[in-house]
Homo-oligomer: A and B are copies of this chain.
Amino acid sequence: MASRAKATILDIAREAGVSKSTVSLVLQGSGLIRPETATKVRKAIEDVGYVYNRGAANLRKAHSNVIGMVINDLTNPFFAELAVGMERVFQAAGVVPFIANTAENPVRQEEVLKSLMEQGVAGLIVSPARGTTPGAFRRIEAAGVPIVFTMRRLPESRIPVIAPDNHRGAFIATEHLIRKGHCRLAFFGGSSDLVVYHERLGGFLEACETLGIPASDRLIVEGETGRKGGMACLETALAAAQPPTAALCFNDAVAFGAMLALRKRGLEAGADFAVVGFDDVAEAEHYSPALTSVAVDTAGLGERAAHVMLRMIQSRTTRAEDHIGAVSLVVRESSGPDRNSQVGDAA
Contacts and interface: CB of A to CB of B under 8 A. Distances in A.
A313 interface: no
A265 interface: no
A108 B97 CA distance: 12
A66 B227 contact: no
A74 B83 contact: yes
Given A75-B77, A119-B55, A286-B227, A99 B96 contact: no
Given A99-B101, A118-B53, A142-B2, A84 B75 contact: yes
| Interface size bracket, A side | 35 or more
A144 B54 contact: no
B75 A81 contact: yes
A49 interface: yes
Contacts of A342: none
Contact of A115 (B66, B74, B111, B142): B66
A194 B136 CA distance: 44
Contact of A103 (B74, B87, B108): B87
Contact of A66 (B97, B119, B318): B119
Interface string A128-153: 00000000000101111000000000
User: How many identical subunits does the complex contain?
Assistant: 2
Contact of A118 (B51, B111, B256): B51
A98 B74 CA distance: 13
Contacts of A21: none
A141 B1 CA distance: 9
Contacts of A256: 286
Given A2-B143, A54-B118, 12 more contacts: A2-B141, A2-B318, A3-B142, A49-B139, A54-B119, A55-B55, A55-B59, A59-B59, A75-B77, A87-B103, A96-B100, A98-B100
Interface of A: 1-3, 6, 49, 51-56, 58-59, 66, 74-75, 77, 80-81, 83-84, 87, 91, 96-101, 103, 108, 111-112, 115, 117-120, 139, 141-144, 227, 256, 260, 263, 283, 286, 288, 318
Closest 8 CB pairs of A and B: A55-B55, A2-B144, A98-B98, A99-B99, A54-B118, A96-B115, A75-B80, A74-B80
